[in-house]
Homo-oligomer: A and B are copies of this chain.
């Protein structure tokens, strides 16, 4: 019998705030981080790796929450470890559920653990995750999807119908994507903290590399937003797609006013115009700024929120996040909802490792759920990929189909030794590390690992 034998949890942090990478109107000093776990098994070399993404302080809280879910996994038989059943087991732990329910740290932690479980399942099957999913039957997929609280918008039968409609032509779309890749756009040029020269240079590079979309951060000073958008529109040209992203800094009426003041740049969408929880606010904004589209979802806490965004006709683009939702089980549910309502899913990515994950989700979405590329484009940021064992590949503005087994979620051991907080070489005995530690009343670890069990 093959079993899960133990686990390691790491608080991994990259000191990205040094270079203003990732800076926007809300998040001025992000240290891209991953609360990361490795499930070890009794099979040689077989592990399951997963994480949730944070931007620095508080990553240790996610590590603590991940730890809370893990002891029960040690000793489980890999042959009977069903990700759908495990997800239901996590959802029905009433004591831990209280901390959300289904939102915030405890939900991020379920996402991280289930990401590792799906990685393990795909590696054991010898398939990249997107293909593992694309080989499941409609019935298996609906069983894996978390459809609870959704039946007023999407019944199980409707979900099955969507999947069955796409099933006969899955192979055609896999063949198509094998040639073209899955379309993506880049945010690499658009961070608020970059100078005009750096912005223009990066935007020109992006266009030269084949991108047809550019996304710019806005929401600081309006005159500066206009100056930066002028450069971006010049570079992408009148026919190119320019998106703007306010990262939640506005109240509803402020958002309407400010987006109207930027309407002459003809943006494709305004992203995160206000609180990510405000379904009715987004619906009001969408009505007032049309034909500019409204996009949100990177802080979309769970499927019940997305259900309402769709029911209220509040969004034109649904930007789910691979780590904010509780892994593949909840992602499939949201993809099915979006397909029912005819709204394109354009996942959020960037940070650390989000690109590695969402490529699998977008490819699966097209192959087995939406069967449509209209209006679809998935985020890509060229950042920190070198830390992954199986980094995503982008070519001509498209994600190349991953071919290695798993969810592309495994960090290199050398990265853990360098960036684990606070014991990694990048943090221990450095000025940046000492500053970060002032705000962390840290606990004893073995230096690199937040927690270890069973090993």
The answer on a CB contact under 8 Å between B54 and A65 is no
Q: State A311–B277 Cα separation when bound (angstroms).
A: 14
Residues of chain A from 116 to 151 with CB closer than 8 A to chain B in the complex: 148-151
Q: State A99–B26 Cα separation when bound (angstroms).
A: 14
Residues in chain B near residue A251, CB distance under 8 A:
148-152
The answer on a CB contact under 8 Å between A275 and B441 is no
- Chain B residue at minimum C-beta to C-beta distance from A248: B101
Closest-CB distance, A188 to chain B (whole angstroms): 20
Residues of chain A from 73 to 117 with CB closer than 8 A to chain B in the complex: 93-108
Q: State A294–B242 Cα separation when bound (angstroms).
A: 44
The answer on a CB contact under 8 Å between A152 and B284 is yes
Q: Tell yes or no: A396 within 8 A of B by CB.
A: no
Residues in chain B near residue A443, CB distance under 8 A:
443-444
Q: State A252–B61 Cα separation when bound (angstroms).
A: 33
The answer on a CB contact under 8 Å between A438 and B94 is no
Q: Tell yes or no: A20 within 8 A of B by CB.
A: no
The answer on a CB contact under 8 Å between A95 and B31 is yes
The answer on a CB contact under 8 Å between A27 and B98 is yes
- Point out the residue from B71, B102, B302 that lies within 8 Å of A438, measured CB to CB: B71
Task: Show 18 residue pairs from A and B whose CB-CB distance is below 8 angstroms, ordered by the A residue.
Answer: A26-B94, A54-B98, A54-B99, A58-B65, A58-B68, A60-B64, A71-B441, A101-B248, A101-B299, A102-B275, A103-B103, A104-B105, A105-B105, A149-B252, A151-B252, A277-B304, A441-B451, A444-B444
Cβ proximity bits A258-278 to B, threshold 8 Å, 1 near / 0 not: 000000000000000011111
Residues in chain B near residue A276, CB distance under 8 A:
101
Residue of A27, A56, A65, A108 with most partner-chain B CB within 10 A: A65
